[in-house]
Structure 1
């Protein structure tokens, strides 16, 4: 019997052995979206991604002992702390009990979501306009168009902390005002302009497509849908830093640093590249089919927390079709969506739709990441405020697996 040539792919028998299940259960896992499969070396066989199978096996082992369960929790396993900020459900992420998808459809802005997540009640931390000019230590960096967006923000935000006299003020209203200013400043830094009193989605949209109100509406929805997603990598990093009592600028810097990794924020660039490559191939369906046959990933599709499809991606896709259904570049997107559904059964996720918005409007990949980073800062700040209100330090223990003291080398 032939075996997969790619070491990252395994046959059904090996997948069943790793998971401790029968072939029937394996096929049920695929139908439920817990695993994906692709054609094997012959027409009747299927192969599976080794990493996906191993990750599912880890999750199955979680709970078989406190130490093991805690260790497995660090990769989308068991919950590790309580939060009142957001809840992930199959139909939508929920912000303090309110559907993010419903909020996007209803016309909510990122500022509206910030007021909700930060529990502002009657306070409007965005009421005061931001300063008209950058502080002198920041001005040159903030205007430097040669710097990539994340790097420009990461360079400037620590310097902005030096100018913020209230950075360590513990009063909740003051902290919310600091957070609101940070939200505006970060957005402006990411697009290389000055902060102002416009809604954040207009500031971004006008930087890329001035005066295009339909495009601004897509950006608004994207920001709302990306504002928080429970304990994702960058939110957890920001929350750990916040637990030390560090100021909000430090927590935002931690979130941006985590987001800069290719396995987190880099997902939008890979999804954009997939759309660009499919267009360049001249035959998107064949291009996707060949990638899938080789065992290559399809960035911008699938989400482990949404086996039936990412509702954030579905909502943005609905809006993008409504606005740009007849656009030539939308046909590229539709071709990739159709081919991916046919060959893999996977649905587009939020990274894929942020990339699609850029592709359809003939923008480079960077605005997709900028939208994500602008929005997600709202959640980082909510987690920071919640963690510091608790007053506890996040300090997990490690289970040592190295050489025992005194052992012979």
Structure 2
């Protein structure tokens, strides 16, 4: 669609009934919404606004009442290009609103409720739904990833192994430099099951590994030595689907920076994994797991919350800067966990945490708390949520990389604000090595 070049005032268009309807140019619509003109067209592509071609012209017009209604629904203005420069990204993947989020215009929680992770990943990548699709790892990258991950020290975390597995898989894929959309998709469809396949099984090297079935079924034995029932697999599959993308989270920004250099998809995923391990990002669910386990063991949240506050630690699993109420991802998982008797003690402990904290600060549960309930209920390691997050979010990193490959290369080059000594400074004197003065 051609961007509107008109800058004049709103026009009057006569409808079929002869009544005059106020129409806005693209520039006027953008000003009312507080966004860039490009974002107006993004709203059109998402089905949130309807546009109409200007009679005899090249631009588009928009119904003023519809624009005003959208402005009321969004309730916030996006940063202008002059305020944020190149760090304002045009993206058609995820839209986050105050109480829900969408994958390519479709409610993400509804999508995850009705479709498995691999189907959701395909939707995010291509905008096409492919029922029953299964991702398969290529033999050579999978073998290289397994050898590398298995050679790491026993104390290595799952994220350590995933980072090593990505590098090893990349070295075994000579086609990794193909940045065409189909080439990237082929790499992604192989890489995600390769990551899962490279993880050790929870029951030891001989137990439970499988190369077929949904990705959630292949991931389960890497997380738990217990056999999975249908309800537990449904929670895991839903969690994978819900976490597949969340707009420009820190790890996704890192992935886009890597993609802006035209780094191959494996390098993009490596960049995302490097940021994910921070305790304020993917590792946050591990903190929530440990807190929830302690609440279950001590029989109540009050002493645990008191310990956190006394030592100046924030209570994990609560609050999210993008949602004013409960994280919709947490709500979707709670609905499934509530139906599982095995999760009842952990659910009760989580509700106690929320209620106890609410006496001081009204914070709502986020997805880290929901992942913690799941991992505690099934006796999984504390890092389970981080592992699920890493495998799932690989789909989002790939989706953003595909968008970034289509942008101007190396566009993210901010300038530093130098605060060091003003030049010219004298050459530094050699540092004394100490020693005797006698």
Assess if the C-alpha contact under 8 Å between 1:191 and 1:204 holds in 2: no
CA deviations 1:204-260 (Å, max 9, x no partner) are: 224324232111110011111111010101111111101111111100111111111
Residues 25-40 of structure 1 aligned to structure 2 (within 5 Å): none
Who is 1:113 aligned against?
120
Who is 1:101 aligned against?
109
Who is 2:183 aligned against?
174
Aligned mates of 1:385, 1:334 — CA distance in 2: 40
1:141 aligns with 2:148: yes
Q: Which runs of 5+ in 2 are unaligned?
A: 1-75, 427-438
- Give SS of 1:302's match: coil
Who is 2:84 aligned against?
70
From 388, 394, 397, the counterpart of 1:371: 388
- Cα distance, 1:350 vs. partner? 0.8
- Cα distance, 1:294 vs. partner? 6.7
- Cα distance, 1:292 vs. partner? 4.5
Aligned mates of 1:281, 1:122 — CA distance in 2: 46
* Residues matched between the structures, number: 340
Assess if the C-alpha contact under 8 Å between 2:254 and 2:271 holds in 1: yes
TM-score, L = length of structure 2 = 0.70
Aligned mates of 1:190, 1:379 — CA distance in 2: 20
From 234, 239, 252, the counterpart of 1:217: 234
Aligned mates of 2:326, 2:130 — CA distance in 1: 36
- Cα distance, 1:395 vs. partner? 2.2
Aligned mates of 2:195, 2:304 — CA distance in 1: 38
1:122 to 1:239, Cα distance in 2 relative to 1, 3 A: same
1:189 aligns with 2:198: yes
1:242 aligns with 2:259: yes
Assess if the C-alpha contact under 8 Å between 1:355 and 1:368 holds in 2: yes
1:132 to 1:153, Cα distance in 2 relative to 1, 3 A: same
1:404 to 1:119, Cα distance in 2 relative to 1, 3 A: same
Who is 1:279 aligned against?
296
TM-score, L = length of structure 1 = 0.74
1:121 to 1:312, Cα distance in 2 relative to 1, 3 A: closer
- Give SS of 2:340's match: helix
Aligned mates of 1:169, 1:133 — CA distance in 2: 18
Aligned mates of 1:340, 1:304 — CA distance in 2: 17
- Cα distance, 1:401 vs. partner? 4.1
1:406 to 1:284, Cα distance in 2 relative to 1, 3 A: closer
1:157 aligns with 2:166: yes
Larger radius of gyration: 2
Aligned mates of 1:191, 1:348 — CA distance in 2: 31
Aligned mates of 1:64, 1:391 — CA distance in 2: 19
Aligned alpha-carbon RMSD (Å): 3.1
Q: Which has the higher contact order (CA 8 A, sep 6+)?
A: 1
Q: Higher helix proportion, which one?
A: 1
Residues 10-25 of structure 1 aligned to structure 2 (within 5 Å): none
Assess if the C-alpha contact under 8 Å between 1:226 and 1:376 holds in 2: yes
CA deviations 1:169-226 (Å, max 9, x no partner) are: 2332232111110111122234558672321111122432423211111001111111
- Give SS of 2:365's match: coil
Who is 1:386 aligned against?
403
1:127 to 1:391, Cα distance in 2 relative to 1, 3 A: farther
Assess if the C-alpha contact under 8 Å between 1:152 and 1:190 holds in 2: yes
1:150 to 1:64, Cα distance in 2 relative to 1, 3 A: closer
Who is 2:217 aligned against?
202
Q: Which runs of 5+ in 1 are unaligned?
A: 1-59, 74-78
1:257 to 1:408, Cα distance in 2 relative to 1, 3 A: closer
- Give SS of 1:158's match: helix
Assess if the C-alpha contact under 8 Å between 1:340 and 1:346 holds in 2: yes
Assess if the C-alpha contact under 8 Å between 2:292 and 2:373 holds in 1: yes
- Cα distance, 1:320 vs. partner? 1.0
Who is 1:6 aligned against?
none
1:140 to 1:166, Cα distance in 2 relative to 1, 3 A: closer
1:223 to 1:139, Cα distance in 2 relative to 1, 3 A: closer
